[in-house]
Amino acid sequence: MYQIIDGKKISQEIKDELKEKTAALKAQGKTFALAVIQVGDDPASSVYVRNKKRACEYIGIESVSYELPRETTEEELLRLVRELNEDPKIGGILVQLPLPEQISEDKVLLAISPEKDVDGFHPVNVGNLSIGRPGFISCTPAGVIQLLKRSGIQIEGKECVVLGRSNIVGKPMAMLLLRENATVTVCHSRTRNLKEITRRADILVAAVGKPRFIDADYIKEGAVVIDVGIHRNEDNKLCGDVDFDSVAPHTSAITPVPGGVGPMTIAMLMYNCVEGAGRNLD
């Protein structure tokens, strides 16, 4: 029988720990706000932003919203980011992605002060992660590590295969697993003999961005499978990169979609706000 890794429960545990820490910081007079910037009204982004603001409220962090029109220029957004960088009340800055096409995501992410980059997307934080220095870590891969650790799954010495090489998930995921002393292989769209490689994995992290791409053929018997994907299927129901029904019986543990990795991203954003931004306070 396989274990279903309960991201909802684990994310709630983390948020409750952070709520206590925030109260302790407040008692020392240390307060800060998270600035949340959304440009345009992409419906998926609006849901994410709303959930992030709700999590702030739950934990006891103030959030300050900036809802900018779709036509906002790059210069206007950069000006706002620079103002927030200088504002001592703001501990963290989050610019929801994707941005409209007239704005360079690269330029905007680079403009956020690395000390306030709670998403962990700034090259300074990405670099710090890769050389083992402290810094903000991208929330989704950080959440995957917490799911594994808090489910009692050992990472050290394991063969880990990461499917996907995005800057937000695949690459930092590989770095984090390496930091936990795993043997790490990163696969992507040009990888040959993909199944041969994934079938070596003790821990398989799927971040391919294709609905139910991973079936039982990709899995070694008894592997741990972490599904980072989130899609809507033909019936408008949520599904992941993994075909859960065919894969789960071959695993020792697996994350469901929804209720696996998804809730962890926001919990780890809150972690970055409290443990990172909170700690930066005088």
Q: Please give the residue ranges that form the binding site for ligand GUN (CB under 6 A).
A: 94-97, 119, 139, 265
3-class DSSP state of 115: helix
Closest distance of CB 107 from ligand GUN, Å = 15
Please report which helix (H) or strand (E) contains residue 254, including its range: strand 251-254
**230 near 258, Cβ under 8 Å?**
yes
The full length of the chain comes to: 282
| Cβ proximity to ligand GUN, 144 vs 253, nearer residue | 144
Strand-pairing partners, residue 64, are: 35
96 classed as catalytic? yes
Nearer to ligand GUN, 251 or 265 (CB): 265
d(CA 55, CA 34): 11
Check if the beta carbon of residue 120 is closer than 8 Å to that of residue 172.
yes
Q: Are strands 238-239 and 90-95 parallel, antiparallel or unpaired?
A: unpaired
Shortest separation between residue 265's beta carbon and ligand GUN, angstroms: 6
Beta strands in 90-173 (DSSP E): 90-95, 159-163
Given the residues 21, 96, 158, 241, the one annotated as active site:
96
Closest to 148 (Cα-Cα) out of 103, 101, 94, 202: 202
Residues with Cβ within 8 Å of 103's Cβ and at least 6 positions away in sequence, in order, are: 39, 72, 73, 74, 77
Give the tokens for residue 126.
């990405």
Residue 63 or residue 265: which is nearer to ligand GUN going by CB? 265
Nearer to ligand GUN, 97 or 216 (CB): 97
Would residue 3 show up in a list of annotated catalytic residues for this protein? no
Residue nearest to ligand GUN (CB): 97
Pairwise CA distance, residues 49 & 59, whole Å: 16
Among the listed residues 229, 216, 217, 221, the one whose alpha carbon sits nearest the alpha carbon of residue 163: 229
Catalytic residue among 15, 21, 52, 158: 52
Give me the catalytic one of 6, 117, 119, 202: 119
Contacts for 115 with CB less than 8 Å, ≥ 6 apart = 277, 280
Nearer to ligand GUN, 22 or 272 (CB): 272
Within 13 Å and on the Cβ side, how many CA atoms surround 27? 6
- Which are the catalytic amino acids? 52, 96, 119
